[in-house]
Amino acid sequence: MLDSQTEEIKTKLSVEEVLSGYMQMQKAGRNFKAKCPFHNEKTPSFMISPERQSWHCFGCNEGGDIFTFIMKIEGLEFYDALKLLAERAGVQIKSHSPANDSKKKNIFEIVEISRKFFQECLKIKNGKVASEYLQNRGLTEDIIEKFQLGYAPDSWDLLSNFLKKKGYDEIDIAATGMTVKKDRGGYYDRFRNRIMFPINNIGGQTIGFSSRVMPGEDESQAKYINTPETLIYNKGRVLYGLDKAKNEIRQKDLCIMVEGNMDVIASFQAKVENVVATSGTALTTDQIRIIKRYTKNIAFSFDMDSAGIKAANKGIEMALAEDISVNVITIPEGKDPADCVKNNPKLWEKAVQNPKLIMEFYFESVFSKYNSDNIDDKKKIAEELLRIISNISNDIDRGYYRNQLSDKLGLDEKIIFEYENKIKREKSGFINRDDTNNVEETKATTRENQLQQRILGFIILYPQFFQDLFLDLEKYLLNAKINTVYNLVKSSYLKEEKLDDEILLELRDKISTQGNTKDQGGSLSHVWNVAALSVEERIDEISDAYKEAKTCVINLKQILLKKDVKELEIKMKGGALQEDIEKFDKLYKELNNLDIK
């Protein structure tokens, strides 16, 4: 069914027509060429073939058809890319998974009806205070309409009763996050007496809401409340305003990251439209990678106080690790872009046009806090800046700033380099400063240890792979604490005859409360958490996760088998015994049988 639909879409939409909306193409014989939108390049290596209805980049080796292109450039799953292109081609598509699609369809419908309900409530008498607040923040009616802002009335059941009259039952409504289940049964409206900000997916469909408490109400408990995660809303993969900003981001080759919804809206009103904000979460690696599809340049705008800088630090570090050029926008007036735009829109435009390289900002900020002539302060400066420098993935950039730090502190670059390596070891996950009993183990940063850590991370995050990939790994997991955690997991698997998230959650809680000794409590819990973190922000697709997990297992086996083979070779040089020869043959055969497919 889907095959016939995709072919119908391809007959109505040519590859050059679809791709031309995202890049400038030049004729190259029967084909077209362009600069790849997925990696930086000076010479075009991205080729489009109208004859084959396909594309391929010879620089980064990406390729496919119009569906794979839209999936990658827009950050969509296949079915969502199919729907987007079908709508563009005027093709009616049919459901590929009736049960799941029906649930999603219901959620989309209910959220859309709720959005319209909130918009209408903003226009009536009860929404007057909310409307006046938005106008006092400097927003025009046009921008309020553009971002579909609304008001949730001060009622426990007004929205839910409205939705039930539309034919939706309580369970369907609760699945959208619009209501909350009571302890004693029944449901109540999640959003009450709040200003509502619809959150859209990349295609412009509303998938959830962010809500602000009304002015004058108690802001100490929950100034902002967001929709919980649902079948259609994953807060770690959504950026507020991206549906409206994506084309401008690509055109300007810059994404401006601000802190709040109002900052995005005010910036749009000031005609600075390449701006987004996170959606109820700290910036995630997934969000950075979504931005990376449009640009490799991010400018962060945040409050200049210590709290604002601290809040932005993690996102900046992740962006640097993704080889993204990072700048900072200092706001001349007001504590945030929204205030700046309200006071003087031209100042915000000017600030955006004059960003400062993030490392220059950090150097100025850190050196201003300490006396660089004092030896103790030199150490503090070096540690703070090297923790940031060590995140830079580009070797040239990292070397440049390391050299700058060496010059400004008057220290030999070799000392700076060694200090940086020490920090990297601490951040690797195997250094536990509280554990002084096993110094050699905690300092281990070898490929072998990294693989063991990552394998444990895959076991924790993808328990469905356990029987196929991880069942008998005791002899390969030589790190004592990783081996201990592995055996606890395996025991649970053998006892329950299965392994899933619920079983692992129970085991994790048991480990974390098992006692106060480092070997039985805190240390194992630390190993568990670090292992999970080493994987969870890097893998997007389940098939990619399986492939990488399998690769890690095979690589670890290869390393250890090669080590055993080498030790036997050395031993056999002094005189080979029959048992050694047999063991050597067995190991060598096992090593040759390992294959990464």
CATH at 451: 1.10.860
Residue ranges, the chain, pLDDT below 50: 1, 429-445, 515-522, 537, 596-597
As a whole number of angstroms, the distance between CA 543 and CA 119 comes to 41
494, part of any domain: yes
Regarding whether 55 and 168 lie in a shared domain, the answer is no
Regarding whether 241 and 227 lie in a shared domain, the answer is no
Q: How far apart are the first and last CA of the chain?
A: 30
As a whole number of angstroms, the distance between CA 345 and CA 27 comes to 42
Regarding whether 467 and 382 lie in a shared domain, the answer is no
Strand partners, 301: 329
206 Cβ neighbours under 8 A, 6+ residues apart: 111, 112, 115, 148, 198, 199, 200
Regarding whether 584 and 449 lie in a shared domain, the answer is yes
Which of 233, 252, 271 is the last residue before a domain boundary? 233
Count of the separate structural domains present in the chain: 5
Which of 382, 397, 427 is the last residue before a domain boundary? 427
162, part of any domain: yes
3-state secondary structure (DSSP) of residue 310: helix
pTM for the whole structure: 0.59
62, part of any domain: yes
CA distances from 363 to 323, 360, 385, 457 (A): 19, 5, 7, 35
CA atoms within 13 A on the CB side of 157: 8
Structural domain harbouring 30: 2-89
- Taking alpha carbons only, the member of 249, 248, 341, 338 closest to residue 287 is 249
The helix or strand, by DSSP H or E, that contains position 405, with its residue range, turns out to be: helix 395-409
- Taking alpha carbons only, the member of 590, 446, 460, 596 closest to residue 525 is 460
440, part of any domain: no
45, part of any domain: yes
Regarding whether 83 and 54 lie in a shared domain, the answer is yes
Residue 211, pLDDT score: 94
22 Cβ neighbours under 8 A, 6+ residues apart: 37, 69, 73, 250
As a whole number of angstroms, the distance between CA 175 and CA 228 comes to 10
With contact defined as beta carbons under 8 Å apart, do 207 and 238 qualify? yes
With contact defined as beta carbons under 8 Å apart, do 519 and 480 qualify? no
Which of 216, 233, 250 is the last residue before a domain boundary? 233
435, part of any domain: no
Regarding whether 204 and 78 lie in a shared domain, the answer is no
Residue 101, pLDDT score: 64
The domain that holds 138 is classified in CATH as: 3.90.980.10
Q: Which long-range CB contacts under 8 A does 467-476 form with residues at least 24 apart?
A: 467/493, 467/499, 469/546, 469/549, 469/550, 469/553, 470/549, 470/553, 473/553, 476/452, 476/553, 476/556, 476/557, 476/560
Residue matched to tokens 């010879």: 58
Regarding whether 370 and 350 lie in a shared domain, the answer is no
With contact defined as beta carbons under 8 Å apart, do 343 and 333 qualify? yes
- Taking alpha carbons only, the member of 51, 79, 53 closest to residue 66 is 53
Regarding whether 148 and 242 lie in a shared domain, the answer is no
pLDDT digits (tens, 9 = 90+) for 351-376: 898 888 888 888 988 898 899 888 88
198, part of any domain: yes
Strand partners, 198: 209
pLDDT digits (tens, 9 = 90+) for 32-77: 888 888 877 778 888 888 866 888 887 777 888 899 899 888 777 7
Regarding whether 229 and 249 lie in a shared domain, the answer is no
Neighbours of 449 (CB within 10 A): 19
Which region holds residue 149: left if phi is over 0, alpha if psi is between -120 and 50, else beta?
A: beta
Regarding whether 251 and 215 lie in a shared domain, the answer is no
434, part of any domain: no
As a whole number of angstroms, the distance between CA 157 and CA 109 comes to 19
Regarding whether 273 and 306 lie in a shared domain, the answer is yes
- Average pLDDT in the chain: 81
Regarding whether 218 and 341 lie in a shared domain, the answer is no
The domain that holds 24 is classified in CATH as: 3.90.580.10
- Across 540-595, where does the E strand assignment appear? none
Residue 488, pLDDT score: 92
Tokens of 39: 């990696």
